Amino acid sequence: SKRDASQPEFIQAVTEVLNSLRPVVEKNEELYRKNAILERITEPDRQIMFRVPWVDDNGQVQVNRGFRVQFNNAIGPYKGGLRLHPSVNLGIIKFLGFEQIFKNSLTTLPIGGGKGGSDFDPKGKSDREIMAFCQSFMTELAKYIGADIDVPAGDIGTGAREIGFMFGQYKRIKNLYEGVLTGKGLTYGGSLARTQATGYGLLYLTEELIKCHSDNIAGKTVAVSGSGNVAIYAIEKAQQLGAKVVTCSDSTGWIYDESGIDVELLKEVKEVKRARLTEYAAAKPSAQYFAKKNGEHGVWQYKVDVALPCATQNELDLEDAKALVANGVKYVCEGANMPTTIDATEYFQANGVCFVGGKAANAGGVATSALEMSQNSERLSWTFEEVDSKLKNIMVGIYHNIDEAAKEYGMEGNYVAGANIAGFKKVVEAMLAQGVC
């Protein structure tokens, strides 16, 4: 609609979904039109925007903008992460919240779609500044969320530290100890395997995809972008499954390590020191570091069998897709949300690459968040193995669900369409049952 014209990422996400839903809608056109299903599903239930004032280490007051978009709660409480990055605006949060509806539906768990965050930049801030921001952010957000209303989680820039500060503030303001956030620390209601879940889940799905093409992930060469939460645990699981990851990146550059990324060193650099990849290259002689300029393919220029974009939206464009295809890539699965542009996705699909979009491939994170909610509700903690095996079952199930949905509508191998269709149908059924709301 014209009112969203200034939100390109939201338009991009909606365009991709609606295009692939055409065969589903055409089967039941009258029902969809009369109930305004597409109009309702693309309009958030609620969009909250607020001022976040906080004091920096020089005593200066800073002002950021906070967001929470509660998109759709037909199948459960709103659920989705909080992104802290200077690029955050309403359109970005809406695109992420919209995608979250379908992803959460695919997990088979009872969670609706939402997303939030702020244009705050955590880079270079002291722990005290991070705490001041998180407390101020939660002071306002607390009015709109709750364990049975809306349960935010981490995303870019929001890790265990930030979730901890936000949880502390929520508890203090509301005088309520409840599972209002996921991604919590293990001593206060967090779930084992949540840290690993998105990356591990991505690999469980990728492993199944490869297996169903009579192939084996062991021995494959892999390119990963990013070096944050999703990327690190994707690399770790890929290596456990016998693949070799030769490259990864951050927002300023990338590394190529022919001998395979040393994931323990990567964790030390990114999670403990919160440093740049230059430090990885300095500590590992087999690794080369390249600073990012403009227009080069970065991690996508190498000869790999599998590409796993795990950084951010629109980081893999048509030129990158051409470079990957020319180098023989066979499988591309998205760890990040919408990292591949629409033309690049179409290029992969037209060139025989098995491509699985983020809604399905990175759903392991939110699925495990929903398992964290279950544990909080029953006031119990499950073992790592219990959570991890549930995660694996969910990801394998998602692959077969989207594969079958694509086949049902005559689009075998189009996993993007399969994911959109399978996620959409469940939400629509719930919306129809609940009447006009």
The DSSP code for 77 is S
Catalogue the active-site residues. 115
Q: Is 239 marked within a binding site?
A: no
Pick one of 312, 340, 341, 375: the residue that binds ligand NDP (CB under 6 A): 312
Pick one of 17, 336, 406, 431: the residue that binds ligand NDP (CB under 6 A): 336
Q: Cβ closer to ligand NDP: 349 or 362?
A: 362
Distance, CA of 316 to CA of 352 (rounded, Å): 17
Distance, CA of 206 to CA of 331 (rounded, Å): 8
251 binding ligand NDP? (CB under 6 A): yes
Q: Write out 107-141 in H/E/C secondary structure.
A: CCCCCEEEEEEECCCCCCCCHHHHHHHHHHHHHHH
Helical (H) or strand (E) element with 80: strand 78-84
For the bound state, the minimum distance from the C-beta of residue 437 to ligand NDP, rounded and expressed in Å, comes to 28
Q: Cβ closer to ligand NDP: 257 or 409?
A: 257
For the bound state, the minimum distance from the C-beta of residue 68 to ligand NDP, rounded and expressed in Å, comes to 15
Q: Cβ closer to ligand NDP: 79 or 330?
A: 79
75-94 residues in contact with ligand NDP (CB under 6 A) are 85, 87
Contact (Cβ atoms closer than 8 angstroms) between residue 366 and residue 153 = yes
Q: Cβ closer to ligand NDP: 360 or 431?
A: 360
For the bound state, the minimum distance from the C-beta of residue 199 to ligand NDP, rounded and expressed in Å, comes to 8
Stretch that binds ligand NDP, among 2-10, 213-221, 311-319, 348-356 (CB under 6 A): 311-319
* One-letter identity of residue 92: I
Q: Is 184 marked within a binding site?
A: no
239 binding ligand NDP? (CB under 6 A): no
For the bound state, the minimum distance from the C-beta of residue 29 to ligand NDP, rounded and expressed in Å, comes to 33
SS3 content of the chain, % helix, strand, coil (to 5): 50, 15, 35
Q: Cβ closer to ligand NDP: 160 or 318?
A: 160
229 binding ligand NDP? (CB under 6 A): yes
HSE at residue 168, side-chain half, CA atoms within 13 A, is 14
Pick one of 221, 362, 401, 420: the residue that binds ligand NDP (CB under 6 A): 362
Q: Cβ closer to ligand NDP: 228 or 357?
A: 228
**Among the listed residues 124, 195, 115, 125, the one whose alpha carbon sits nearest the alpha carbon of residue 151:** 115
For the bound state, the minimum distance from the C-beta of residue 50 to ligand NDP, rounded and expressed in Å, comes to 21
For the bound state, the minimum distance from the C-beta of residue 359 to ligand NDP, rounded and expressed in Å, comes to 10
Distance, CA of 210 to CA of 208 (rounded, Å): 5
Contacts of 429 (CB under 8 A, 6+ apart): none
198 binding ligand NDP? (CB under 6 A): yes
Contact (Cβ atoms closer than 8 angstroms) between residue 249 and residue 255 = yes
For the bound state, the minimum distance from the C-beta of residue 397 to ligand NDP, rounded and expressed in Å, comes to 17
Q: Is 393 marked within a binding site?
A: no
Helix (H, G, I), strand (E, B) or coil at 75: coil
Q: Is 154 marked within a binding site?
A: yes
41-80 residues in contact with ligand NDP (CB under 6 A) are none
139-158 residues in contact with ligand NDP (CB under 6 A) are 154-157
Q: Cβ closer to ligand NDP: 14 or 230?
A: 230
Helix (H, G, I), strand (E, B) or coil at 142: coil
Contact (Cβ atoms closer than 8 angstroms) between residue 101 and residue 112 = yes
Pick one of 227, 340, 376, 414: the residue that binds ligand NDP (CB under 6 A): 227
Contacts of 33 (CB under 8 A, 6+ apart): none
From the CA atom positions of the chain, what is the Rg in Å? 21
Positive or negative, the Cα torsion across 34, 38, 41, 42? negative
Q: Is 103 marked within a binding site?
A: yes
Contact (Cβ atoms closer than 8 angstroms) between residue 153 and residue 181 = yes
Residue 276 sits at φ, ψ, to 5 deg, of -95, 165
373 binding ligand NDP? (CB under 6 A): no
Closest residue to bound ligand NDP by CB: 228
The DSSP code for 189 is T
Distance, CA of 432 to CA of 419 (rounded, Å): 20
The contact set with ligand NDP (CB under 6 A) reads: 85, 87, 154-157, 198, 226-231, 250-252, 310-312, 315, 335-337, 362, 365
Binding site, annotated residues for NAD(+)? 198, 229
Binding site, annotated residues? 79, 100, 103, 154, 198, 229, 369
